Structures are given as C-alpha cells and as structure tokens.
Amino acid sequence: MPGRIYEKSPLARKAREIQARAFHGAEKEAYRDYRILPYGKEPYTYFTPKYFIDNGTIDRDLVTRMRHGAKLLTVGSGPAMLERTLLGFSIPIENIHLADLELHDAVANYSFPKHKFDMTKPWPDLKQKFDFIIFPESISILHMENSLSYTRPSKEDSEIIARILSNNSNVDETKKFIKKTTTSPRQISIFNALKNAINCLTENGEIRVSSHWLHNYQLASVFGSLKLLFPDITIKFIPQHDSRDSERVFVIKRNGVNS
C-alpha cells in the first residue's frame, strides 16, 4: 500500500534533484509550488509532481516496482510533469503510459506510449493490463464539469457509508444504500471512469486516485456500485497532513482475481 512521503524523505529529495535538471523556465518555477495556474492557455489547474509525492500517490513501492517492469497508466496526464519526473528514477519510458482526452503539446517529443480517449466513456483496447492506474486530480475535473449539490447523510446512512468505505458492508445493505442514493451526472462519470480502469488492471493491480471535493456520501455510492460488479476489490485511504475534506487520496485494489 502507498505510504505518505514527506519533503525530507529520500524520494522527495531525489524528485527535487530531477526537476532541477529536467524542467526549465515556467515549468521549473511552477514545480516549486503545488499548482500550475493555469498551464498555457488551458482553463485547468495542474498539480505538480511535488504534490503527488507529498500526498502519497507516488511512493517508494510504486517506483521500485516500476523499475522492475510494472506498468503505469496515468489518466489525465496533461503536460506529464509527473511522468517526466518518474523517468529520473530510472524507470523505463515504455513502462509509463499517458492518457488524456487530447494529448498535451509538452509530450510531443517524448516516446511515452500515448492514448487518447474520454475516461468516462468506454476505453479503447489498450493492448495490455496495468499494475498501476493513476488519476492525478483528473477525477476533480468531473466535479468542475458536473455541478453537484451535497446533502448531509442521516445517522443511519453515515454508518452504512463508514462500513462501505472500510470494506465491511454486506451486499444487501450496499444495494439498499445505492438504490436510494441520488445519482448525479458526476457520480455516473466517476463510476464509469473507475469501472473502465478496474477492467484494465492486472491481477493485484491498483488504482490510485488523488482528488478534491469528493464527499464520503458520493464516494460510498460509487465504490459500493463498483463493489457489486467487482467483489474482489477493496478501498483504502492514504492519511493526509490534516483533516480537510477537500483533499482525498485513495487506492482501489484488485485482490488476486485474474482478469
């Protein structure tokens, strides 16, 4: 499982050394903070490699396994600052696959395997399975594009949500909760994106999601629905520096079931 990586860790120090060599101009300046506002003419906010190392999306286990052949797909890769940083950890470029709705100009001269698709619609045949699939804040884009009203759950629902998100809910109670959950465009989009990703995982592969503005109520509805389709999956949360509800990092893992 991923673990928190703080700025004083060897991995974070190595990342800073890599960015000092690999990035120039505006990219290098942006790397010093967590966000690029915005990248070029695009309306979206991109988060820098520093952010994903610090919040535990990228950890020693991922880096070590990728050095030894594990395959990564990043969905919503943007200018691929994260992926270009991973190259500095002696990870072969062919092990890092990029995916986005439109591929960014910044990756044109790199030989990363590249894929163009809408993550919320059926994915094309990617010709292989992946050990890691990362959504580097790309799930947050669905929040921006699909506004969502939030209703505080009842005490009973809160208890069910807690059981679903700790992998302790039974099938009947999960079905009951999902049946009465208001389905929003955002929840449907997130469900479709994660369902597609699960179908592209290797045995024991995992999805790592770094996202903002995803409340437990919506996440329990999405994960509960996924659990009914894929009984072998589990979900785990990576603790953050503070208790802000806006920042969520979680891992969905397959558990030894051949795809």
Element (H, E) at 46: strand 46-47
Element (H, E) at 50: helix 49-54
Task: Name the residue with higher pLDDT: 241 or 85.
Answer: 85
If one counts the domains in the chain, the total is 1
Q: Work out the percent of the chain whose per-residue pLDDT is above 70.
A: 76
Residue 120 falls within a domain, yes or no?
A: yes
pLDDT confidence tier of residue 65, bands split at 50, 70 and 90: very high
Average pLDDT score over the chain: 82
pLDDT for 27 beyond 60? no
Which of 15-19, 68-72, 135-139, 191-195 has the least mean pLDDT? 15-19
Rounded Cα distance between 138 and 60, Å, is 22
Q: Which of 37, 33, 55 is nearest to 46 (CA)?
A: 37
Residue 238 falls within a domain, yes or no?
A: yes
Residue 78 falls within a domain, yes or no?
A: yes
Residue 37 falls within a domain, yes or no?
A: no
Rounded Cα distance between 240 and 232, Å, is 26
Residue 206 falls within a domain, yes or no?
A: yes
Mean pLDDT of 180-201: 89
Residue 15 falls within a domain, yes or no?
A: no
- Tally helices (H) and strands (E) across the chain: 10, 9
Task: Name the residue with higher pLDDT: 15 or 217.
Answer: 217
pLDDT confidence tier of residue 49, bands split at 50, 70 and 90: confident
Task: Name the residue with higher pLDDT: 182 or 190.
Answer: 190
Residue 149 has a pLDDT of 52
Residue 185 has a pLDDT of 81
Record the tokens describing residue 148, joined without a space. Answer: 């969502």
Record the tokens describing residue 12, joined without a space. Answer: 């974070």
Q: Which domain holds residue 137?
A: 72-253
Assign 170 to helix, strand or coil: coil
Rounded Cα distance between 177 and 180, Å, is 6
Task: Name the residue with higher pLDDT: 153 or 127.
Answer: 127
Residue 54 has a pLDDT of 82
pLDDT for 250 beyond 70? yes
CATH of the domain at 141: 3.40.50.150
Residue 119 falls within a domain, yes or no?
A: yes
pLDDT for 217 beyond 70? yes
Residue 217 falls within a domain, yes or no?
A: yes
pLDDT confidence tier of residue 152, bands split at 50, 70 and 90: confident
Mean pLDDT of 84-98: 94
Express each pLDDT in 94-108 by its tens digit.
Answer: 999 999 999 988 889
Mean pLDDT of 28-33: 50
Residue 50 has a pLDDT of 77
Rounded Cα distance between 113 and 101, Å, is 15
Task: Name the residue with higher pLDDT: 245 or 211.
Answer: 211
Element (H, E) at 35: strand 35-36
pLDDT confidence tier of residue 172, bands split at 50, 70 and 90: very high
Length of the chain: 259
pLDDT confidence tier of residue 226, bands split at 50, 70 and 90: very high
Mean pLDDT of 109-118: 95
DSSP annotation string for 192-219: HHHHHHHHTEEEEEEEEEEEES--HHHH
